[in-house]
Amino acid sequence: MFARAGAAGTLLVGALVGATVTAGPAGAAASGPCDIYASGGTPCVAAHSTTRALYASYNGSLYQVRRASDNATQNIGLLSAGGYANAAAQDSFCAGTSCVITVIYDQSGRGNNLTQAPAGSAAGGPDNLASATAAPTTVAGHKAYGVFVAPGTGYRNNHTSGIATGDNPEGMYAVLDGTHYNGGCCFDYGNAETDSRDDGNGTMEAIYFGNIKVWGYGSGNGPWIMADLENGLFSGVNQHLNSGDPTINYRYTTAIIKGGPNHWAIRGGNAQSGNLSTFYDGVRPNVSGYNPMKKQGAIILGTGGDNSKGAQGTFYEGVMTSGYPTDATENTVQANITSMNYGTGGTSTGTTGALHAVGAGRCLDVPNSSTTSGTQLQIWDCSGQANQTWTRTSSGQLTVYSGSTQLCLDAYNNQTTAGTKVVTWPCNGGSNQQWQFNSNGTVSSTLSGLCLDVTGAATANGTLAELWTCNGQSNQQWNLS
């Protein structure tokens, strides 16, 4: 059971049809990731993004949202063929209410759309749907939204076209928020069972991102890019440590898994700049059941193959291919991704979103959505709810809620000593309510110079926030996005 998860979405009814690839007008991008894969002989058979077109000619819908006020739905498309999401259309449609993402359309033309994940053999019913506004971002300078997966959230398609089965080769990449993760099972994107059950070793092949250590793991404390191959998350050839699979937590992270007959690889890099690195490239795991593979060809996002849904993460774009892509093809795709200049809008004034605790992989949270002045803040699984939505104002305040219930992040009683509680309080313009965002990711009090700190570098839900002497460690690093 996962406390404080968002309200469960209802099952979609009726056919949901994505748009197909069509010729775009002059001025469209010269190529997208799926054009590059096609040129390399490994075409996309699924292409999902809520931020941009993944083909230069695509001019259909990216995703669909449903608003809470009347349950009406609207498809969100592009500003132009081959371009970027029309976030203004979503903002207009969802104004004055909340929205969830109901469909993530497949741009490949194969109809491999992702919708609400049904119940599986893991405990719990159908998954929740993601808040449509919990993961704001920019791509090529244009506002867009990612898919914010809080625990209990997930998408799936068990009836696909063209996805690899058996031991057939495939590749996949995803652009993820490298600071939003946990040790739950399992934040995945990729190939899974068509019955939402655990059908045994080798029946999955998906990208996993997080820091669970029950099965394989990499160096450092995580998170790691690994492969979920069912009944095992693998960082290399065995179910233990692969020191060559490093902790990788770029704010925007490119994650790649690819596999074929007795051969698979893990690659990754910074989705904002630089090249890909290879973290494993070799034979299938030395555990029975993974050679040959028995892939079934469903697609999952945010959950495990049996619908294990305790994980969290944020997804911006990803594809699956037919055939095993070459490193050279993937390197060209990475160059395309970095050219998009993914960004958070920075920590500029007026930015609104979740304040992520980088070290814990959780969010700064007002306990139980309290509006009582003096409530001490904590960290909790990111949910996209109002009690985790912070706005940085032009005067350096951090506010939560709005209207008559608006409160400010406050250094309790104007105290300036290490260990000072961080609470909510009515906004008054005092220096104990003014905060500086620093280049190393810390957030410091203008009054005392102390840093916003997760007490004791703990990572558990309910850990309290306080002020402490700045040390630059991960429990003092925050990301407002």
Residues catalogued as catalytic:
230, 306
Cis bond before residue 292 (omega within 30° of 0) = yes
Rounded Cα distance, 149 and 219, in Å: 25
For residue 192, the Cα-to-chain-centroid distance in whole angstroms is 19
Residue carrying structure tokens 């313009």: 429
